[in-house]
Structure 1
Amino acid sequence: MAKSLLLLQPLALTLLSLLPSISLCFSADSPIDRRILVLVDDLAVRSSHSSFFSVLASRGSDLDFRLADDPNLSLQRYGQPLYEALILFSPSATRFGGSLDHQAVLDFVDAGHDLILAADPSASDLIKGIAAECGVDFDEDAEAVVIDHSGYAASETEGDHTLIAGDEFIRSDVILGEKPIEAPVLFRGIGHSLNTANSQVLKVLSASPSAYSANPSTKLSSPPSLTGSAISLVSVVQARNNARVLISGSLDLFSNRYFKSGVQKVGSSTKHQKSGNEQFVTEISKWVFHERGHLKAVNVSHHKVGESSEPSMYRINDDLEYLVEIYEWSGTTWKPYVADDVQVQFYMMSPYVLKTLSTDQKGLYSTSFKVPDVYGVFQFKVEYQRLGYTSFSLSKQIPVRPFRHDEYERFITAAYPYYGASFSTMAGFFIFSIVYLYHK
């Protein structure tokens, strides 16, 4: 017996060591990504990009730094996720270590987890392949970088105009925060285009109309494949399962050097003492890791007007009320979400009723309407999709019945002509019978 207990002790200790990792799975009550795996080509990135990592750590994230070829890499154990997000700062990695590979990264996103991917001119086919699956296509020329002779960052030396001062931002307070980014963002790297068949991917930082993608050390023998505003420098993806992905063509975008550098866009008289990189990266990382723009809908209910309990079915022409509470994650707590574009459908094969929900500014949305004069099995449907916000789809099924035989009015006003016709027919038949029987 004692020998059996000794054999079980190592197994028990192993299981106990797994409990912290297993308990870190995504929670709807706190959607922030807490444990993040950071893969790098060289651990020196941990120092050269420490400011970015410090920003994440200050917001409560637990960062686990690993080399991309670490033989012990794994994103899950015993079917449970070990991390809530993944940062790929390993653009030149041709393969990952352990059980991690191209498909494992995509499965990680398909499971609802978040991803930040940064590339540079040395980006491998592995990194480009992951980006392509997310709807982003990097330039096929392995030596091409983004060049802009009209939008580069001014410096003491002329250079090759590959250091871009980007200021073509997406107009979305949800993604980039309410405070505008006044200073241009420094960018040196490769450009990409968006797959037009993928409606989930968005440009966050675009190149100027004068930019193009080419090898700066050679003369152009043919027109560049990527030109102008079609070039995206930084893009984001919000998948249908609400997983979020950030794809950047520059690893230096996140570096300490670019965070602290001053910037002056060529042709501009304004010189900024500090680039917009830190603000840009901080704000967009909040969105990627669900600290902003994350919605939840709770307490969905419906009932007849004047009642409080939810019925098992409605009768045609009943007056009903539909209610739902919607909240937005502020980074620390849930706060009421306020909007005027939330709609509910009363649906059977097609919408019979479409109503915009009104809000009390405290998270409660409601509306009332009359049940259509059609019986069958209906659904209450709320499908909410707005730029930058997590989408949600609510549905509740409810049958609608016609009037029972004893629920109709005794006399219907519209039927008075038919009543008159019936009584006049009976009176006429009675008179005819009297005349026929008693008069020759």
Structure 2
Amino acid sequence: MPSLSVLVTVLTLLPFVCLSFSPESPTHRRLLVLLDDHSLQSSHSIFFHSLISRGYDLDFKLAEDPKISLQRYGQYLYDGLVLFSPSAHSFGGALDVQSVLDFVDAGHDLILTADASASDLIRSIAKQCGVNFDEDSSALVIDHTNYAVLETQGDHTLIASDDFIQSDVILGKKKLEAPVLFKGIAHSLSASNSLVLKVLSASPSAYSANPNARLSHPPSLTGSAISLVSVLQARNNARVLISGSTDMFSNELFRSAVQKVGNSNKFEKSGNEQFVTELSKWIFHERGHLKAVNVRHNKVGENNEPAIYRINDDLDTHIEIYEWSGKSWEPYVANDVQVQFFMMSPFVLKTLETDQKGQYHTSFKVPDVYGVFQFKVDYHRLGYTSLSLSKQIPVRPFRHNEYERFIPTAFPYYGASFTTMVGFFIFSIVFMYHK
């Protein structure tokens, strides 16, 4: 019999397990927020309150808290991790770099921020996600052309950037008018990782260097090669946001008026709040999250799914695709969803037609090749979770009694055979009776 303490622990964890993220109903999510200092909870309260207002349950802890644990009894206690602890040299409890990576590998989401005090721990996590921060720990992003003017003074390390990724799925349909204020360190994307994307880039005049020292050698990162904010969508559809600035999420920069040097346009409020809020919606799967259901196929004119097809059969294939809107599943409408009839390589590749209500279908003829085939939908589109579905079905040749009695294409051979027989008969008569 289990002890009373074990039963109490299991009953305590049960609500958290039941409320964990599910692709079928991505709601009621729990986030662990690790802070360098509790003061960040108040200085970044607008961002945290936006998450709470959208139904997230935030658990705030200091990064060195010895009671930190992402999982217990094989179950993850949280659905997302927010690391606002750039200077942490180690995490408390059983949390380490590998634990964070395993958390992402299990399909969970991560927000990681850094600044000039970024530790090797934070840099290591970012590197494993395809992002390389500037190795110079004293370097900041500097831009003498696109910096922000606050009141009467300009700070060349306070970048005003409006070089956003062109994706309504990631940043929302409402256009960002005001530039985003950024004060932090630069990073570049790993050439070996094709899954990581720039969301906010520096201008061609930016560079990474120590603002308090004279340049003795060319900067290692310059121009548009500098990424300020990047995102990663892993192959398991886990999403990661990496920012070189923790201040970008602060109340101060959310509320700051912004004006670029040399630009007469002055905005009463920076674009930080809209940018961060919309980006967090994408990171936590409130947008761009797809699911496919009711994948089926059948012969034309029939409704039941057969166990086997015959070569040259005419068939229909159907699939329903929906997108999570943040509150409910809505029909996903696109004109680039394709199905493959696949054996070693695609024998048939067709674009599915949609009825604008989330249902996709197409018809085609089974190729004149028998073997084991797959109906395969492998859908990848910028900003959306990938869909990878397959259904296996064998294809057989004609049975001996299913062939046509007389094949039209063989009529010339039939004619030749009968002509030969008739000719031989005539020749025999002539040969025997001719004098």
Greater than 3 Å deviation, 4+ residue runs: 7-11, 156-160, 428-440
Q: What RMSD in Å do the two structures reach over aligned CA positions?
A: 1.5
Give CA-to-partner distance per residue, 1:50-94, whole Å, 9 cap, x none: 110000000000000001011111110010010000000000000
Question: 2:28 & 2:342 partners in 1: Cα distance?
Answer: 36
Confirm or deny that 1:299 pairs with 2:294.
yes
1:222 to 2:211 alignment: no
2:403 aligned residue (408, 417, 431): 408
Deviation at 1:21, TM superposition (A): 2.2
Question: Contact 1:68–1:97 (CA<8 Å) still a contact in 2?
Answer: yes
Specify the SS of the correspondent of 2:11. helix
Equivalent residue in structure 2 for 1:126, among 121, 127, 134: 121
Q: Which residue number corresponds to residue 5 of structure 2? A: 10
Helix, strand or coil for the counterpart of 2:149?
Answer: coil
Unaligned runs of 5+ residues in structure 1 are: none
Taking the aligned partners of 1:413 and 1:102, their CA distance within structure 2 comes to 70
1:168 and 2:167 matched: no
- Given the alignment, which residue of 298, 309, 317 partners 2:304? 309
Conservation of the 8 A alpha-carbon contact between 1:33 and 1:85 = no
Q: Which residue of 1 aligns with 2:198?
A: 203
Query: 1:212 aligned to 202, 207, 211, which one?
Result: 207
Deviation at 1:29, TM superposition (A): 1.7
| Contact map agreement 2:36 2:62 (CA 8 A) in 1 | yes
TM-score by length of 1: 0.96
Pairs within 5 Å for 1:96-107 = 96-107=91-102
Task: Report the Cα distance in structure 2 between the residues aligned to 1:239 and 1:199, rounded to whole angstroms.
Answer: 10
Q: Counterparts of 1:239-258 in structure 2 under 5 Å?
A: 239-258=234-253
- Amino acid in structure 2 at the alignment position of 1:47: S
Determine if contact 2:338/2:352 at 8 Å carries over to the other structure: yes
The one-letter code of the counterpart of 1:292 is R
Matched-pair contact (CA < 8 Å) for 2:20–2:28: no
How many pairs were matched up?
435
Pairwise CA distance, 1:408: 1.7
Equivalent pair of 1:169/1:206 in contact (CA under 8 Å): yes
Write the letter of the residue equivalent to 2:277. Answer: T
Compute the displacement of 1:32 (Å).
Answer: 4.1
The offset of 1:426, in angstroms, is 2.4
The DSSP-based 3-state class of the residue aligned with 2:150 is: coil
Moved more, 15-24 or 345-354: 15-24
- In the alignment, is the contact (CA less than 8 A) between 2:230 and 2:241 conserved in 1? yes
Query: What secondary structure, in the 3-state scheme, does the structure 1 residue paired with 2:111 have?
Result: strand
Query: How big is each residue's C-alpha offset from its partner over 1:173-194, in whole Å with a ceiling of 9 and x where there is no partner?
Result: 0000000010111110001000
Aligned counterparts of 1:15 and 1:173: Cα–Cα separation in 2? 42
TM-superposed deviation, 1:430: 3.5
The question of whether the paired residues in 1 share the 8 Å contact of 2:195 and 2:233 is answered with yes
| Bigger mean CA offset, 280-289 vs 401-410 | 401-410
Deviations 1:360-383 (CA, angstroms, capped at 9, x unpaired): 011000000111122222111111
**TM-score, normalised via structure 2 length:** 0.97
Mapped partners of 1:226, 1:277: distance in 2: 24
Task: Tell me the secondary structure at the aligned position of residue 47 of structure 2.
Answer: helix
- 3-state DSSP of counterpart to 1:31: coil
1:317-362 per-position Cα deviation (integer Å, ceiling 9, x unaligned): 1111110000000000000000000011111122111110010011
User: Would the aligned equivalents of 2:20 and 2:30 in 1 still touch at CA under 8 Å?
Assistant: no
Report SS of the residue matched to 2:305. coil
Matches of 2:118 and 2:27, distance apart in 1: 29
Deviations 1:263-294 (A, max 9, x none): 11111111111110100000000000000000
Instruction: Select 1:382's aligned residue among 377, 380, 396.
Output: 377
CA distance in 2, matches of 1:225, 1:33: 43
Corresponding residue number in structure 1 for 2:46: 51
User: Would the aligned equivalents of 1:33 and 1:290 in 2 still touch at CA under 8 Å?
Assistant: no
Which runs of 5 or more residues in structure 2 are unaligned?
none
Alignment correspondent of 1:179: 174
The 5 A counterparts of 1:61-140 are: 61-140=56-135
Inter-partner Cα distance in structure 2 for 1:112 and 1:129: 20
SS of the equivalent of 1:161 reads strand
The equivalent position to 1:372 in structure 2, one of 343, 367, 371, is 367
CA contact (8 A) 1:87 1:116 kept: yes
Aligned to 1:29: 24
Q: Which amino acid aligns with 1:359?
A: T
* C-alpha distance in 2 between matches for 1:179 and 1:428: 85
Residue 334 of structure 1: aligned partner: 329
CA drift at 1:33: 6.6
Deviations 1:120-149 (A, max 9, x none): 000000000100000000000000000000
| Alignment pair present for 1:399 and 2:394 | yes
Task: Give the superposition deviation at 1:429.
Answer: 3.5
In 2: Cα distance, 1:182 partner to 1:271 partner: 11
CA drift at 1:406: 1.6
Question: 1:32–1:289: 8 Å Cα contact kept in structure 2?
Answer: no
Q: Secondary structure at the match of 2:142?
A: strand
Quote the offset at 1:439 in angstroms.
Answer: 6.6
Identity %: 73
Match of 2:415 in 1: 420
Deviation at 1:428, TM superposition (A): 3.3
DSSP-derived class of the 1:259 partner: helix
2: CA distance, partners of 1:181 / 1:324: 35
Shift of 1:424: 2.2
Judge conservation of contact 1:151–1:208 (CA < 8 Å) in 2: yes
Letter in 2 for 1:131: A
More deviation in 395-404 or 243-252?
A: 395-404
2:395 aligns to what SS in structure 1? strand
Letter in 2 for 1:127: I
The answer to whether the 8 Å contact 1:40/1:89 transfers is: yes
SS of structure 1 residue aligned to 2:157? coil
1:14-70 CA deviation, whole Å, 9 max, x = no partner? 221121122233212212471000000111111111110000000000000001011
Report the Cα offset of residue 420 of structure 1.
1.5
1:260–1:274: 8 Å Cα contact kept in structure 2? yes
- Cα distance in structure 1, aligned partners of 2:228 and 2:165: 12
1:137 and 1:336 mapped to 2: Cα distance? 38
